[in-house]
Each structure stands twice: as C-alpha cells, then as structure tokens.
Amino acid sequence: MRHIISLLMENEAGALSRVAGLFSARGYNIESLTVAPTEDATLSRMTIVTSGSDAVIEQINKQLNKLVDVVSVMDLSEGEHIERELMLLKLRAEGEAREELKRLTDIFRGRILDVSDHTYTIELTGSRVKLDSFIDAIGRDLILETVRTGASGIGRGNRILKL
Amino acid sequence: MEMTGAEITIRCLQEEGVEYLFGYPGGAVLHIYDALFQQDKVKHILVRHEQAAVHAADGYARSSDKVGVALVTSGPGLTNAVTGIATAYLDSIPMVVISGQVPTFAIGEDAFQEVDAVGITRPCVKHNFLVKDVKDIASTIKKAFYLAKSGRPGPVLVDIPKDVSGQKTEFVYPASVNIRSYHPQGRGDSAQIRHAAQLMLEAKRPMIYAGGGVVLSDSSAQLTDLVRLLGFPCTNTLMGLGGFPANDKQFVGMLGMHGTYEANMAMQHCDVLVAIGARFDDRVIGNVEHFAQVPRKIIHIDIDPSSIAKRVKVDVPIVGDLKLVLTELLEVLRASRQKPDAAEMAAWWKQVDEWRVTGGGLRYKNSSEIIKPQFVIETLHKLTGGDAFVTSDVGQHQMWAAQYYKFNHPRRWINSGGLGTMGFGLPAAMGVQLKHPGETVACVTGEGSIQMNIQELSTCKQYHLPIKVLSLNNGYLGMVRQWQEFFHGNRFSESYMDALPDFVKVAEAYGHIGMRIDKPADVEPAMKEAFSRKNDLVFMDFRTDSTENVFPMVPGGKGLSEVVLAEDL
Ligand SMILES: Cc1cc2nc3c(=O)[nH]c(=O)nc-3n(C[C@H](O)[C@H](O)[C@H](O)COP(=O)(O)OP(=O)(O)OC[C@H]3O[C@@H](n4cnc5c(N)ncnc54)[C@H](O)[C@@H]3O)c2cc1C
Ligand SMILES: Cc1ncc(C[n+]2csc(CCOP(=O)(O)OP(=O)(O)O)c2C)c(N)n1
Ligand SMILES: [Mg+2]
C-alpha cells in the first residue's frame, strides 16, 4: 500500500542522508521525498511517499523515529490529509495546439508561466493523480521537459505535526 | 580559561571518568595526542592496528557497565576502525570513537588522508557528528557519551578536524544533555505489563527467551527472580549467556542454530513465549515461516521499538528499559494471588525433560588419541571454576566455548554475535584484562581468527596483560569446512589453512610463553601450568581434531525442529 509519511527533523548537515541512507540500506521503496526548512529554521519538514506491507510500513516508522536527528514522525495516510505536488512542464506549443494547450491548462487550473514561439511552460499543482491525468490529457509527444517536486503533505483539521 | 580543542577533548574524557583510551596516532590527531601527553588521568593504550583499538574498547565496555573509548586518525585510521565499530553496533555496545579529520578548509578536496568518516560510518553507528567549531566540542562529546549509553546502547563517532582541535575556546562542560529529538523509553506501559503477567500466569507451556538486552541493562538479578518465581524454563541467546545462571535447573541451554534440542523444541512448542531483550535473530529462530506455524502468544520486552515485531508478530509489546519493566512485572506477579497451574507446569517440565533425553544434551565422543575441542573448553571450565572472563573469536571454537563453558554470571562471555568478526577475541581480551586486572581472562580462538589480529600480542607485552590464549587449532577454517561438508558435497574450497606459523615461536617472538599441546592427556596439565603463570601471557596451541563438527545444528533457512543432532551423522 502507498503511504505518505511526514517528519520533522533537525535542519542539520547530513540529516537528509541519514533518512535516504536508511531507505536504501534496508531496501525500502521511496517514490518521492521532499524536504525544506520550516518557519523554525532549526527544523526541516520532510514528506516521503513510500509503499510496502503493513509490517514494512511499521518498521519504516520505527526506524525513522529511531534516527537521532528525527524529531517526530506521522503517517499521514493513517488519517485525513491533504497532498499536493507541484509540476513544471515545458510543452511544444505550435500552431493550433497552442489554443488547445491553453484550454487544457485552464481546465486543470494550471498557469502558463512562460511563453516562447514554440513553447509553453506550465505550472500545475495538485494530487499525483491530477498531475498524471494532465500529462495523459496533453499526450507525451508534446512534452519537452517535466519537473515534479514529489508530494508534500499535511494533516486535515487538528492533525498537526509539531515539535 | 581558554583551552585548545584537543585539550577540551581530553578534559571531556576525564569528566566522563574514562580510564582507558585505546588508540593509534596520526597526523589529524596530533593535537589530541599532544594534549594526552600533558596529563595522566586518561591512560592511553597503544594498539598495533585501529581495529584492535575499537575491539579493546568494546571488550572493556562489555565486561563492565562503562562506555568504551577509542581514538583514531583520519583516513586509514578511520577505515581500519570501521569493522570494530560495526561489531559494536550489531551487538549494541556503548562506545565513543573519536576520529581525526583533515582541517575544515580541506574537507571535500580529496585531501591527504581524507575520507568521509561520517558518511562511511553512518550505517553502523547509533549516531555520529562532525565537529566544525571548537565551541561545539564539549557539548558534542557530552552528547556522544549520553547517546552511547542510554536507550539501546551503541557506538557513536565524533569526527574532529585538525584545525578545530588546534583552535582555542573557553571550556565549559555541560552538566546535562537534552536532545529534543531523542527520548529513550524508561518504564514500560503498566497496562501491557499487567496483561503480560496475566498471560504468563495462565500459560500452560511457557518459555522465557532472554537475550543480550539482559546483560546490557544489568538485569540478570531481575530475570533470575522472575524465572524462579514462575518456575518456567529459560533459554539464553548467544549474547544473553550468563544473563541467567547456566547451572540452574530451569536453564535449558542456549537456543538457535547451535542451541540445545530442548531449548529449540520448547521454543517451537510453547504456548506463551516471553522474549526479554532478544531480537528474534535469524540464527535464533531459523526460518520465520516455520516459527510462525505454531500458534502461541508472544510477549516482547525491548527498549527499541524497532526490535519488536520486526521478524515475528507480537501479541504484547512492551517498550521500556528491562530493569524497570522486569521490576514492575515482578511486583505485579508477586501481588497476584494466582500462581501458574502446578499440574500444567509439571506436565510441561516432563515434556522438556523428555526432550533433554531425546536430544541427548550437549555431548561429544572424547578420545585418548586426539584432542577434542569440547574437552579443552570443559577443562577450561573446570580449572577456572566457571568464573573466568572468556572472550572468543568466530567459528566453531566460539560455538564450543558458548556451549561448554557454563556461564553463571553476566558480562563474562565476550564475543561478536551479530557481525561475527574474526579477529575480535584477542583485542577484546585486552580491554577486559585492563578493566579486571587481577582476574583470569581466557581468549578462546582458532588458528584462523587469531591471525586476524595477532599483532596485538605486542600490545599485550607492552602493557603486561597476562591473557591466556587458547587456540583450538584444527588446521581449518572449521566453521566454513563444516558448512562445506554438510551443504557443499565435501568440496573444501579454500577452507584449509596451509602454511600455518609455529605459534609457539610466534608467541615467544613477541616475548610471551608459547605451548603446543598435542595429546588429550596433556590438556589439563598444560592448562594448569599456564594458569599458574599469573603474570604471563601464555599462548596455548591445542592441536585439535580437524574433523570435529558443532552439534546440534539447525541448518540455515530451516525451522527450529529440523535440527541435526550429533548421532544423526
Ligand atoms: C558463528 C555464529 C553462530 C551463531 N549461532 C547462534 C546460535 O546458535 N544461537 C544464538 O542465540 N545466536 C547465535 N549467533 C548470534 C546471532 O547472530 C545474534 O548475534 C544473536 O542471536 C543476537 O542475540 P539477541 O537476540 O540476544 O540480541 P542482541 O543483539 O544482544 O540485542 C539485544 C536486544 O536487547 C535490547 N536492549 C538493549 N538494552 C536494553 C534495555 N536496557 N532494555 C531493554 N532492551 C534492551 C536491544 O534493543 C536488542 O533488541 C551466532 C553467531 C555466530 C557468529
Ligand atoms: C573477518 C571475517 N572473515 C570471514 C568470516 C567467515 N568465517 C566465519 S567462521 C570462519 C572460520 C574461522 O576459522 P578459525 O578461526 O580457525 O575457527 P574454527 O572455525 O576453525 O574454530 C570464517 C572464515 C568471518 N566470520 N569474519
Ligand atoms: Mg580453525
């Protein structure tokens, strides 16, 4: 099963490699991993999308908690949560296709960030599924470049991951 | 007063009450060696190879309740230490390793003797630090000792660049540590403890499976009280030996791959299994599928949540420090009016005792012609009254020592279980002997293993360490040979140790006493002679039967009941 795990860790050199190293050393899957400092500059927030049996996910949670640099861990997928990913796409946009691409972008509530004679650069945020369906709708032939951040997640309502 | 980073480092060790620092100098730690030179509180032990420094610190820690400390230089000094660090990591041994690093301004430039120490050791330390500012040295070392010793113990590396150890700052040793992201569990959950107690009292076929955690947390007394109070059978893992007295009638021996038949059968057939500071290692429960086939309730007490439910499903997990959990469990049990059902217990013991007979116990056929390795260990036990510190290397000799030296006290059996590091025995014995100057320290080794750190005979000479080395010289990498005999059609690929040195001469060359023993009749007299030499290191080269195998044996990947007993072959 796919899980989205959120964690707070010390914003220190090497902390990221401890997490990444844990996943590779123990053979856990990583679908995506995002990390950046929080409003408290001493802390980083990381979102990891992984998959595995219940037993594997339990071990992942325990092993992450065991890392000395990790302050707290939450398996967002255990409850109500919001998941967003940012995607930047560079598309071949020529002739009639330009209109159609703009229309699709509007439908998906994306934004055109940059325009050249032959290209559009588009920004889109949403769930993984939404981004995937946008790609499907455009068709792979027109895609020149794809940049995805991987999912960031946050709990709904009172589910708060704090120090 | 301002002090250099190097002086601060040594001051911190003094503050931590470090008696011995095992190390080897080099460019990146010259400041630290200079600071060492100018004090006499921390005694430095100069080993002959950095791996040995770490194993010696490790042996020191295992035989006491203190943190072992080692000091190595950057680059090759650090890489040599890695095997020792990994050895300590897999057996959860509290240790602080200080390594020198190239100066901060040179880091990342492939500088002379630069390796990414933090990167290389990351997977085999509890935690590690690169200290980039002299102001952080004291607080980092304080944290390192705290992390090494608290919770599930483990090695912690502190990497100090040369310029940092040369710079000056005010010395302040923090009185306490607070790491906001680190809170090892103390007491266990009381509701879970009561639940466990109830299950234990209602058990029909209970079994206590106690591991290294009992030794690490100094909870042998609590474990012994618990086992005796309940009257249950008790087994120990290789790491737990001595945690429960081997001479107690409730002890069913070690379990696992080379465990006794009765211990393994009781593991398979119990209805309530109480795992105490043991981690269901693959060498212990064999094939998990087979293990899980027999339904039972499992209670698991461990300070590390990730040890629980890692390989087997657990019904009552209790996360906490063993000493506190066992103490509370004992209180609950003593307060309860219920007792284990006497009839059920009698029937269960009858079954266990039958297994003792069917399995035939630990046994071998002694000979008057050729020395049997088991006989050497039995003689060692007899002559030392079961009270020696016994370190071992890795291989058949290790298993025979574990099986035939009946440990009645914790911290007496010092071996590398998790990593299985050949070369561990002699340097570990140095740490043990330094910690226990007047005591008998025996290093049981093989002609293969001893050669992995034989240079330490020189260290033993320098510091007058009267270790007794018992080399069970079977002329083979015996454990490898055994697997080749059983599973590879007797194709003894590279397991024969050709061109062995004359170990008597080797010992003598290092300034020690060497003895070669060929005949069973000479085993006891030779050992008596050796042990009477209280101030000398004696190297005993026992020429043992090269075809002897370790029994019982549960082949790798098999279930615990698929054991090969001695008579089957
Ligand atoms: C050649 C060879 C053969 C072997 N054959 C066998 C064999 O037949 N049988 C066998 O048993 N082993 C055998 N081993 C050893 C095996 O590989 C493991 O090292 C060993 O079984 C692990 O022991 P353990 O489960 O007691 O765990 P340890 O590695 O000792 O772990 C200790 C556990 O206790 C916990 N703990 C630590 N401190 C505390 C505390 N304060 N409170 C609570 N919990 C705590 C830790 O978190 C950990 O889970 C063999 C090794 C070799 C090299
Ligand atoms: C450093 C290292 N290399 C290889 C091994 C694999 N190994 C395990 S036991 C063994 C043989 C040990 O031979 P010896 O020390 O003579 O002991 P014996 O088994 O003969 O008693 C080997 C090679 C190991 N455990 N450690
Ligand atoms: Mg051998």
Sign of the torsion angle spanned by Cα atoms B410, B411, B412, B416: positive
For residue B292, is pLDDT > 90?
no
What is the C-alpha separation between B460 and B479, in angstroms, rounded?
28
Substitution target from A23, A54, A68 for chain B, most B beta carbons within 10 A: A68
Banded pLDDT at B567 (limits 50, 70, 90): low
The reported pLDDT for the residue numbered B293 is: 80
* B396-428: pLDDT as tens digits: 999 999 999 999 999 999 999 999 999 999 999
Name residue B209's amino acid: Y
| % of chain B at pLDDT higher than 70 | 99
The DSSP 8-state label assigned to residue A150 in this structure reads: -
Mutation test residue for ligand 1: of B264, B281, B397, B563, the one with most atoms within 8 Å of CB: B281
Mean pLDDT of chain B: 96
- Full 3-state SS string of chain A: CEEEEEEEEECCCCHHHHHHHHHHHCCCCCCEEEEEECCCCCEEEEEEEEECCHHHHHHHHHHHHHCCCEEEEEEHHHCCEEEEEEEEEEEECCCCHHHHHHHHHHHCCCEEEEECCCEEEEEEEECHHHHHHHHHHHCHHHEEEEEECCCEEEECCCCCCCC
What is the C-alpha separation between B70 and B49, in angstroms, rounded?
12
Mean pLDDT of chain A: 96
From chain B, the residues in CB contact with A13 under 8 A are: 130
Banded pLDDT at B563 (limits 50, 70, 90): confident
In contact, B82 and B121? CB cutoff 8 Å? yes
Ligand nearest to the CA of B216: 1
The answer to which of A12-16, B269-273, B352-356 has the lowest mean pLDDT is A12-16
The reported pLDDT for the residue numbered B295 is: 87
* Identity of the residue in A59, A62, A68 whose CB atom sits nearest the CB atom of B182: A68
Strand runs labelled E in B162-281:
168-170, 206-210, 234-236, 251-254, 272-276
The reported pLDDT for the residue numbered B1 is: 85
Distance B545 CA to ligand 3 centre (A): 10
What is the C-alpha separation between B512 and B229, in angstroms, rounded?
49
In this structure, the dihedral spanned by the alpha carbons of residues B422, B423, B428 and B429, taken in order and rounded to 10 degrees, is: 110
Identify the three-state secondary structure at position B402. helix
Q: Chain A: residue nearest B182 by CA? A: A68
* B327-369: pLDDT as tens digits: 999 999 999 999 999 999 999 999 999 999 988 789 999 999 9
* B431-455: pLDDT as tens digits: 999 999 999 999 999 999 999 999 9
For residue B169, is pLDDT > 70?
yes
For residue B291, is pLDDT > 80?
yes
Which among B362, B379, B392 is positioned nearest to B471, based on CA atoms?
A: B392
A-B interface: how many C-beta pairs under 8 angstroms? 37
For residue A15, is pLDDT > 70?
yes
For residue B568, is pLDDT > 60?
no
What is the C-alpha separation between B31 and B25, in angstroms, rounded?
10
- ipTM score of the complex? 0.93
> How close does chain B come to A158, measured CA to CA in Å?
22
Q: Work out which ligand 2 atom sits closest to the CA atom of B397.
A: 21
For the residues B171-193, what does the mean pLDDT come to? Answer: 96
What is the C-alpha separation between B58 and B203, in angstroms, rounded?
39
Helix (H) or strand (E) segment spanning residue B227: helix B220-230
CB proximity A24 to B under 8 Å: no
> How close does chain A come to B104, measured CA to CA in Å?
14
- Is the bond preceding residue B552 a cis peptide, omega within 30 degrees? yes
For the residues B134-139, what does the mean pLDDT come to? Answer: 98
For residue A137, is pLDDT > 60?
yes
The reported pLDDT for the residue numbered B417 is: 98
Q: Strand B127-130 to strand B155-161: parallel, antiparallel, or no bridges (unpaired)?
A: parallel
From chain B, the residues in CB contact with A55 under 8 A are: 309
For the residues A56-84, what does the mean pLDDT come to? Answer: 96
For residue B264, is pLDDT > 90?
yes
Residues of B marked active site are found at 50, 112-113, 162, 479
* Tokens at B18, concatenated: 């470090």
